[in-house]
């Protein structure tokens, strides 16, 4: 049953009536039957009869009685606790077997508190409200979870020291839990780095100024290197001073993997910032734990890639609409070249073949709209093909002038301020404006 409004007209005026209606099935059709008409809605609201009817019906249900009791001035809430996120994260915590690992490692430590509950509280705090140990000791007072009410500030400090001491053992135990009977001999590891900066002037042993991925070279930073498996679960991590090069962090992480993982075949996957001759030798020439590798390559800066790999045309195999691949072997090295045919067709920059000798130059006047532009703009580009280079050198400028003649433009060195190339005597594409 439910309440329905019905409109009616009486003496030229329109009114709304409230009715109690019940739905019932007659054969294959559902019909509505009016049980009772309560009266005009405006009169019922003015007299308070609707409120009285609801209070009378609330006597026969516990839920509505509780809602009504909360409106009473005699009932006041003194404290509320969060419990939902702790239940969800607690299930993930248990499924990963973290309580058993911490209990195993702390078995012979004379802790007078539940170190597993303190570790869970610290992890839960980092997910929801990141803060210090002092902030965590105050935060647990507002969260409902088993064992949280017995935790104090000193427990957080002691747990931090315990986790720092046994971090490598915990990471090793967790990585072995993700293995099964068919993943004991080989695994794929992805290595990458990022930087974390802080707003301060002074440097220390960890926070130093270096190459900033966040474009803030004036701020001290640390370099964080993380290793994850094919499921995306972290296997290991290390923090390095902010001026550490990616190649150095890579070698340190490989040492960590060799020490912790007792499997015979590991494939290390990293981006082009990790590649170096020393790094490849470090991976492959170890007598006890040689690793296979998959590295991203610098397409233009690596001579072998530029002149040998990319110069071989054709041979692509279609994987899907936006991906074609081909294999190129140079000596004992295997390269996989990936190509996006959709982007290649939509490429607005003019490219061409390498010149056999000398320099070939072309000027192009075109209309182009970048992703961050709200409309097309006029772009004047200069394309130079140099001997021995696969890709052209491209420089361009954007203008909204229709009167500007491309043939009279000069290219000046922004540092020396000297004219490097006069475009007046060069062949250009006709102006399409």
Position 413 confidence tier, pLDDT thresholds 50, 70, 90: very low
Residue 247 reports pLDDT greater than 50: yes
| d(C-alpha 335, C-alpha 319), whole Å | 17
C-alpha neighbours within 13 Å on the C-beta side of residue 256: 22
Given a cut of 60, whether residue 335 has pLDDT beyond it is yes
What's the rounded Cα separation, in Å, for the pair 372 and 398? 14
Residue 6 has a pLDDT of: 84
**Mean pLDDT score of the chain, rounded to an integer?**
78
For residue 230 the two structure tokens come to 């094919």
Model confidence over 59-91: pLDDT tens digits? 777 776 666 666 667 767 677 788 888 999 999
Higher pLDDT, 359 or 17: 17
* Cα(370)–Cα(363) distance, integer angstroms: 20
326-344: string of b/e by CB count within 10 Å (b at 16+)?
bebeeeeeebebeeeeeee
**CA 320 centroid distance within chain:** 24
Task: Tell me the three state secondary structure of residue 317.
Answer: strand
- Give percent above pLDDT 90 in the chain: 13
Query: Which pLDDT tens digit goes with each residue over 277-299?
Result: 777 777 777 776 677 888 888 77
Which stretches does DSSP call E strand in 104-253? 186-197, 221-228, 234-241
Does the pLDDT at position 394 exceed 60?
Answer: yes
C-alpha to C-alpha distance for 20 and 105, rounded to whole angstroms: 66
**Higher pLDDT among residues 184 and 341, named by residue:** 341
Averaged pLDDT for residues 214-220: 89
The fold adopted by the segment(s) 185-296 is Nucleotidyltransferase; domain 5 (3.30.420)
H helices, E strands: number in the chain: 13, 16
Q: Render pLDDT for 142-175 as a digit per residue (tens, 0 to 9).
A: 888 899 989 999 999 999 999 999 988 888 888 7
Nearest in space to 272 (alpha carbons), one of 248, 255, 294: 294
The secondary structure element, H or E, covering residue 360 is strand 359-368
Closest by CA position to 185, among listed 254, 266, 289: 266
Report whether pLDDT(407) > 70.
Answer: no
pLDDT at site 402: 64
- pLDDT tens track for 313-324: 777 888 888 888
Residue 103 has pLDDT above 80, yes or no: yes
Stated pTM of the model? 0.55
The domains of the chain are located at 2-70, 84-165, 185-296, 348-425
């Amino acid at each position: 049953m439910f309440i329905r409004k019905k409109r009616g007209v009486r003496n030229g005026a329109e009114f709304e009536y409230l009715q109690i209606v019940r739905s019932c099935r007659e054969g294959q059709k559902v019909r509505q039957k009016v049980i009772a008409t309560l009266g005009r809605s405006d009169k019922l609201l003015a007299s308070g009869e609707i409120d009285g009817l609801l209070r009378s019906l609330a006597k026969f249900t516990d839920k509505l009685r509780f809602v009504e009791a909360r409106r009473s001035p005699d009932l006041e809430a003194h404290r509320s606790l969060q419990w939902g996120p702790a239940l969800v994260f607690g299930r993930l915590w248990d499924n990963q077997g973290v309580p058993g690992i911490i209990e195993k490692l702390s078995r012979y430590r004379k802790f007078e508190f539940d170190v597993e509950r303190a570790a869970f509280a610290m992890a839960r705090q980092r997910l929801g409200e990141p803060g210090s140990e002092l902030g965590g000791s105050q935060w647990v007072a507002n969260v409902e979870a088993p064992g949280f009410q017995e935790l104090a500030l000193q427990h957080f400090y002691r747990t931090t020291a315990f986790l720092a001491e046994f971090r490598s053992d915990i990471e090793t135990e967790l990585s072995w839990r993700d293995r099964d009977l068919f993943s004991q001999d080989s695994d794929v590891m992805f290595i990458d780095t990022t930087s974390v900066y802080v707003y301060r002037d002074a440097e220390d042993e960890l926070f130093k100024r270096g190459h900033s991925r966040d474009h803030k070279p004036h701020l001290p930073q640390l370099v964080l290197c993380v290793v994850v498996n094919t499921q995306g679960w972290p296997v290991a991590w290390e923090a390095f001073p902010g001026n550490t090069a990616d190649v150095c962090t890579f070698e340190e992480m490989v040492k960590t993997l060799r020490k912790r993982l007792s499997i015979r075949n590991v494939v290390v996957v990293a981006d082009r910032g990790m590649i170096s001759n020393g790094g490849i030798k470090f991976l492959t020439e170890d007598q006890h734990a040689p690793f296979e590798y998959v590295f991203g390559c610098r397409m233009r800066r690596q001579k072998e890639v530029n002149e040998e790999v990319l110069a071989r045309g054709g041979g692509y195999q279609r994987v899907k609409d936006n991906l074609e691949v081909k294999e190129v072997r140079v000596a004992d090295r295997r390269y996989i070249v990936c190509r996006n045919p959709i982007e290649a067709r939509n490429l607005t920059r003019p490219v061409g073949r390498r010149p056999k000798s000398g320099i070939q130059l072309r000027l192009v006047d075109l209309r182009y709209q970048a992703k961050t532009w709200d409309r097309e703009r006029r772009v004047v580009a200069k394309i130079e093909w140099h001997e021995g280079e696969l890709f052209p050198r491209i420089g361009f400028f954007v203008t909204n002038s229709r009167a500007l003649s491309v043939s009279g433009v000069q290219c000046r060195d922004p540092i020396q301020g000297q004219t490097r190339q006069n475009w007046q005597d060069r062949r250009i594409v006709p102006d399409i404006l």
